[in-house]
């Protein structure tokens, strides 16, 4: 169960809770900005339900626990021939099992099967087709009547104007704004002088209802139901004995996008334990889905089971929603701080009142850049939607403008660099100190010498600070021309200085990938530097590459390719100094070992052992891998032909799980991804160790 509110103890508190729930539901279902996030709303409804169970004589006739959309919406202009009901909720495996047992009792035996699919977090609609042509689009509304939004016909991806078969049917599903389109939708909206959407669901709901706008927000549709039309025949498309699984296949055959088309697909099984396993798999992939989901819908698959179980006034008894923990919560933006990074970028960070998301307490969230702050019109004191998905740093999506009290204050944008007090280049959306890397030179050099980059042991932050203070180092290339005297002055020891000189000499032979990483090109890191080096093989080729050529490297798009070209032009004098100092600027091309001396069969011309594989390493490595840093492991994976991944998904080929592997191992097992230990992996790539 979700965290509960303090119990409602008297009728006055109960009535206040009802009003609060109705207000939140009206905003949620009506396309406005709800000041309550999903988790808080679920806790409120849970508290109301608990009170009503203890005091049934006090339960309001219009309680939100008994009405579709909590009874918050007015009657619509279109009557649904078959009511569009809500769903009751469960929150864990135990509650799901109890629901399945209760369903079995209603049926007088075990259900013939279950169908499970993602619960799309959008706006429920009914699409009416007559002889294959979409003639009317209606919102769910009160469940018995809905609002006519036929003006949106022809503007929604996945909901065709004409079906592949000329039948008369009613298609039910959710209209959504894809996660990838949310930021662009807010750009469009703000450009037209309107408040930003607070989240993708709000954007979908408001955009579907809107008329007379001078712009269009691109929406999508995912179908979950197919009914016979009230005003036409379906021919042989729909039969009374069809299961829900068969109906979904029929719906997809018409050319409609359905929940089957999401990356997680759907599952049909006679066993509730299989459904619970599916829930676990969906939960692990949820953060990577293109469409927002807030749970999984489980239904009795057979029509006779559905008929026997029946429905209540608000929800069917043969279906349930397994709610997942919310990825989005509402908090208050308390402050914004500005820092200058090692490449000179100036970044804002939002401080929010502590809030829990998926069991993690969040106090800070990224605001990306000043352009985003201005575009969203964010203010200190705003109620804001904060999203945390998987391993991604929490981010502030948008303000809840309807919650403003007038006490909010503008966010002060920096007029000078917060690091050095110098001028700022504000020509791009990401602001940067005009001094670039020189602004925070100690951080830039400290990053370059660390073990996972140039691996120059003995030069720590204190020594870097001394070298910068005595102006012995003004960029990464100056490291390789340091003298014994300069190092002795910085370290206070000639013996230490001599050791560092030896390590600097060895560092000249580091791979091109590590040298490129040490330069600190914006938009690249260790993994991206390896991909670029593996693609071009020499620094001169990278410098000569066009934007189109750079975009052939996985993970580089139009924006990042432009950054790389501009950054390499800026760094040209530093690269020239590296070459003059004898630093390696060539990457040997990947190949299998030249000769097979181990009996492993990996001789000349043999295929790379990890070719075409995405490999994730997690936990503490042991055995032959124990001495390797995390970056060393990544390099080993890529030398053996694989791609190093940071998170587990259905596209992961292999997980190397060391001690205390934790959630990534669990996720891999749930997805059916192969998991091996460090010793087995070391054997696989032994020729590259």
Over the stretch 467-515, which tens digit does the pLDDT of each residue have? Answer: 999 999 999 999 999 999 999 999 999 999 999 999 999 999 999 999 9
The answer to whether residue 595 scores a pLDDT higher than 70 is: no
Residue-level pLDDT at 591:
53
Which strand (E) or helix (H) includes residue 322?
A: strand 319-323
Q: Does domain 78-323 have CATH number 3.30.930.10?
A: no
Q: Which residue spans of the chain are classified as CATH 3.40.50.10190?
A: 614-688
Could you tell me the pLDDT band of residue 598, with boundaries at 50, 70 and 90?
very low
- Token pair listed for 382: 């705003």
- 683-689 mean pLDDT: 87
Whether 600 has a pLDDT exceeding 50, the answer reads no
| pLDDT tens, position by position, 64-103 | 887 776 666 667 789 999 999 999 999 999 999 999 999 9
At the top level of CATH, which class does the domain 328-432 belong to?
A: mainly beta
Decide which of 662 and 582 is more confident: 582
Q: Which residues of 84-108 are buried (b: 16+ CB within 10 A; e: fewer)?
A: bbbbebbbebeebeebbeebbeebe
pLDDT tens digits for 376-397? 899 999 999 998 866 567 999 9
Question: pLDDT at position 59, please?
Answer: 87
Cα–Cα distance for residue pair 527/613, rounded to 1 Å: 15
* 395 three-state secondary structure: strand
CA distances from 284 to 222, 233, 326, 667 (A): 21, 42, 13, 6
**At residue 282, does pLDDT exceed 80?**
yes
- Could you read off the pLDDT of 439-464 as tens digits, one per residue? 999 999 999 999 889 999 999 999 99
Through-space distance between the first and last CA atoms of the chain, rounded to whole angstroms: 48
Higher pLDDT, 340 or 527: 340
**CATH 2.40.50.140 residue window(s) in the chain:** 328-432
Strand partners, 443: none
Question: pTM here?
Answer: 0.71
- Note the pLDDT tens digit of each residue in 579-593: 999 999 998 765 555
Mean pLDDT of 633-651: 82
- Over residues 39-63, the mean pLDDT reads 84
Which of 3.40.190.10, 3.40.50.10190, 3.90.950.20, 3.40.50.1860 would CATH assign to domain 614-688? 3.40.50.10190
pLDDT in tens, 173-202: 999 999 889 888 988 988 888 888 888 888
The pLDDT assigned to 286 comes to 86
Q: What's the mean pLDDT when you consider all of the chain?
A: 88
Using pLDDT thresholds of 50, 70 and 90, give the confidence band for residue 675: very high
What lies within 8 Å, CB to CB, of 35 at 6+ separation is 24, 27, 330, 383, 400, 402, 403
Percent of the chain surpassing pLDDT 90: 55
What is the pLDDT, as a whole number, of residue 439?
92
Three-state secondary structure readout of 467-510:
HHHCCCCCCHHHHHHCCHHHHHHHHCCHHHHHHHHHHHHHHCCC
Residue 236: predicted pLDDT: 57
The CATH classification number of 11-71 equals 1.10.287
CATH 1.10.287-classified regions of the chain:
11-71
Residues annotated as catalytic (active site), given as ranges: 119
Q: Taking the CA atoms of 538, 539, 540 and 543 in sequence, report the sign of the dihedral they define.
A: positive
pLDDT at res. 492:
93
Indicate whether 617 pLDDT > 80.
Answer: yes
C-alpha distances (whole Å) from 460 to each of 526, 622, 631, 637 are: 20, 27, 19, 28
Which pLDDT score, from 0 to 100, does residue 593 have? 53
Q: What is the mean pLDDT of residues 373-378?
A: 90
Considering 230-244, 290-304, 669-683, the range whose residues carry the highest mean pLDDT is 290-304
What does the DSSP 8-state code read for residue 594?
Answer: S
For residues 632, 636, 641, 644, the Cα torsion angle rounded to the nearest 10 degrees is -40
**Architecture of the domain whose range is 437-580:** Orthogonal Bundle (1.10)
Contact at 8 Å (CB) between 353 and 334? yes
């Amino acid at each position: 169960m979700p965290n509960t509110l303090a119990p409602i103890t008297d009728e006055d508190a109960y009535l206040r809770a009802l009003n609060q729930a109705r207000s939140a539901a009206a905003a949620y279902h009506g396309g406005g900005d709800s000041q309550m996030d999903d988790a808080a709303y679920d806790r409120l409804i849970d508290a109301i339900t608990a009170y009503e169970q203890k005091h049934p004589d006090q339960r309001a006739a219009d309680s939100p626990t008994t009405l579709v959309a909590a009874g918050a919406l007015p009657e619509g202009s279109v009557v649904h021939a078959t009511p569009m009901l809500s769903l009751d909720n469960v929150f864990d495996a135990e509650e799901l099992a109890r629901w399945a047992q209760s369903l079995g009792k209603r049926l007088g035996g075990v259900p013939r099967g279950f169908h499970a699919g993602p619960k799309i977090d959008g706006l429920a609609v009914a699409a009416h087709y007559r002889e294959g042509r979409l003639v009317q689009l209606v919102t769910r509304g009160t469940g018995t009547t809905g609002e006519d939004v036929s003006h949106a016909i022809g503007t929604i991806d996945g909901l065709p104007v004409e079906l592949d078969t000329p039948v008369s049917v009613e298609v039910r599903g959710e209209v959504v704004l894809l996660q990838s389109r949310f930021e662009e939708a807010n750009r469009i909206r703000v450009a037209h002088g309107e408040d930003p959407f607070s989240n993708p669901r709000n954007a979908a709901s408001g955009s579907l209802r809107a008329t007379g706008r001078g712009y269009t927000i691109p929406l999508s549709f995912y179908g979950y139901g197919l009914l016979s039309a009230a005003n036409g025949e379906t021919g042989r498309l729909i039969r009374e004995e069809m299961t829900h699984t068969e109906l979904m296949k029929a719906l997809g055959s018409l050319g409609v996008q359905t929940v089957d088309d999401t990356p997680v697909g759907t599952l049909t099984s006679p066993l509730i334990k299989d459904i619970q396993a599916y829930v676990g798999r969906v939960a692990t992939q949820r953060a990577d889905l293109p469409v927002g989901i807030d749970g999984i819908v489980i239904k009795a698959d057979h029509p006779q089971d559905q008929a026997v179980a029946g429905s209540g006034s608000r929800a069917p008894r043969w279906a349930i929603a397994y709610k997942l923990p919310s990825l989005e919560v509402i908090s208050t933006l308390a402050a914004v701080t500005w820092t200058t990074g090692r490449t000179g970028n100036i970044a804002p960070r939002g401080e929010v009142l502590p809030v829990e998301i998926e069991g993690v307490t969040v106090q800070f969230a990224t605001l990306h850049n000043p352009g985003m702050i201005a575009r969203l019109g964010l203010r200190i004191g705003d109620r804001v939607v904060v999203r945390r998905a998987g391993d991604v740093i929490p981010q502030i999506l948008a303000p809840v403008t309807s919650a403003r009290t007038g006490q909010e204050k503008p966010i002060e944008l920096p007029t000078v660099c917060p690091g050095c007090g110098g001028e700022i280049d504000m020509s791009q959306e990401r602001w940067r100190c005009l001094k670039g890397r020189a602004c925070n030179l100690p951080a830039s050099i400290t990053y370059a010498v660390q073990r996972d980059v140039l691996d120059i042991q003995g030069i720590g932050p204190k020594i870097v600070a001394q070298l910068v203070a005595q102006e012995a180092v003004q960029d990464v290339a100056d490291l390789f021309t340091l003298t014994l005297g300069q190092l002795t002055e910085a370290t206070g020891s000639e013996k230490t200085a001599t050791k560092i000189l030896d390590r600097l000499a060895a560092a000249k032979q580091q791979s091109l990938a590590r040298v490129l990483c040490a330069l600190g090109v914006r938009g690249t890191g260790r993994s991206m530097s390896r991909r670029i080096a593996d693609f071009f093989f020499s620094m001169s080729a990278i410098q000569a590459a066009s934007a189109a050529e750079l975009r052939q490297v996985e993970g580089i798009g139009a924006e990042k390719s432009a950054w790389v070209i501009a950054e390499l032009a800026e760094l040209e004098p530093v690269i020239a100094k590296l070459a003059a100092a004898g630093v390696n600027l060539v990457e040997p091309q990947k190949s299998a070992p030249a000769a097979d001396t181990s009996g492993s069969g990996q001789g000349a011309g043999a295929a790379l052992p990890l070719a075409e594989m995405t490999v994730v390493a997690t936990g503490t490595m042991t055995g032959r891998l124990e001495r390797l840093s995390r970056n060393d492991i990544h390099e080993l994976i890529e030398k053996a032909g694989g791609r190093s991944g940071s998170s587990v998904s259905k596209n992961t080929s292999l997980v190397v799980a060391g001690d205390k592997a934790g959630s990534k191992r669990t996720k891999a097992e749930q997805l059916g991804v192969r998991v091996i230990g460090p010793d087995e992996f070391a054997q696989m790539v032994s020729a590259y160790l």
